[in-house]
Amino acid sequence: MTSHVVVGGCGFLGRHIVRALAERGDEVSVVDVVDFPTGSLAPKTTILDVSRASASEFDTLIGAAEVIHHYAWTTMPSTSNDDPLADLQANLAVTIKLLDAVKRRGGGRIVFASSGGTVYGRLRTIPVPECHALEPIVAYGASKVTAEKYLQLYHYLYGIDARIARISNPYGAGQNPAQRQGALTTFVHRALAGDMIEIWGNGEVVRDFIYIADVVSGLIALADAAPFVDGDPLIFNIGSGQGTSLAEIITLIKGELGRPLCVVNKPTRAFDVPVSVLDITKAHRDLGWAPKISLQLGIAYMVGDLTLDPTRRFSSR
């Protein structure tokens, strides 16, 4: 049995990770700023604003946990350019405080959820490998890159076992459409409600969509992996490896519901890269991981979940 602390464990990604770890018999503690009931899956939940927590509070939070999962992030790509300083201060302070706590206790393993959709910027290679230049065009991506650099810095200086997952565009039941992060999730929610769906641009923007269960299996594979022999931090793309346009997403949702949707096109946004697709060859080779759920099947699962319960907090698979 492995012990884990999931910082951001009440969020979309964190909740699903907590459930998967608990179901396999691991010991899991949750830290978050909101009081979201995780039930018996996470018997220890600490509600704390980690952005304001003291060094001693961080020491207590991580304790002797073998794996620290860092999934707490307060901003979104679509709004981060409105206040880059706030984006930086709110998120990087937590990352450094976590790293300092791990350093003080003498080391440990930390898994960080980065953003495969924003850290690379405009792609020169499609699908994009992990060795691609990091040239984000939104503050969200810039702060994620900076967090990655601090993880690598603490790895090289203090031997912290840093692991970075560059995740594409996750979707599934439990993702909050009100946060306007996750185009596919937003589209499905609005389609089920009979509301208008807004698409920025002509629908030709291409993204890499991955079902939440596949994200979870990828993150757990990364958390479980042995450190590389050469000592470098573990950095992996976690995505489907396939690109789908927003227009194609609309077609798939329409087909699943069996009725037309109300769609309106809005002006293109400057920070939207035209194509974002991740190369997942490295994760398949070194972690033995690959996504299992096709986009069409994932949409069917999500529609089924939300039809049964529009407020559902977990995907059923």
Place of tokens 């769906």: 197
154 counts as catalytic: no
What's the topology of domain 3-175+210-239+279-292? Rossmann fold (3.40.50)
The pLDDT tens digits of the residues spanning 182-192 come to 899 999 999 99
Q: Is 189 exposed, middle or buried (0-12, 13-18, 19+ CB in 10 A)?
A: buried
Q: What is the pLDDT of residues 66-117, one digit of tens each?
A: 999 999 988 777 777 888 888 788 889 999 999 999 999 999 999 999 999 9
* Cα distance between residue 128 and residue 28, in whole Å: 33
Helix, strand, coil percentages for the chain (3-state, nearest 5): 40, 20, 40
* 40: DSSP letter: G
Q: Are 152 and 162 in contact (CB under 8 A)?
A: yes
Q: What is the DSSP string of 192-240?
A: HHT--EEEESSS--EE-EEEHHHHHHHHHHHHHSPPPTT-PPEEEEES-
Distance of CA 90 to CAs 60, 75, 81, 116, 216, Å? 21, 8, 14, 20, 25
Q: Which of 71, 140, 171, 301 is catalytic?
A: 140
pTM, two decimal places: 0.94
Span 37-59, average pLDDT: 74
- Tell me the pLDDT tens digit for each residue of 150-163: 999 999 999 999 99
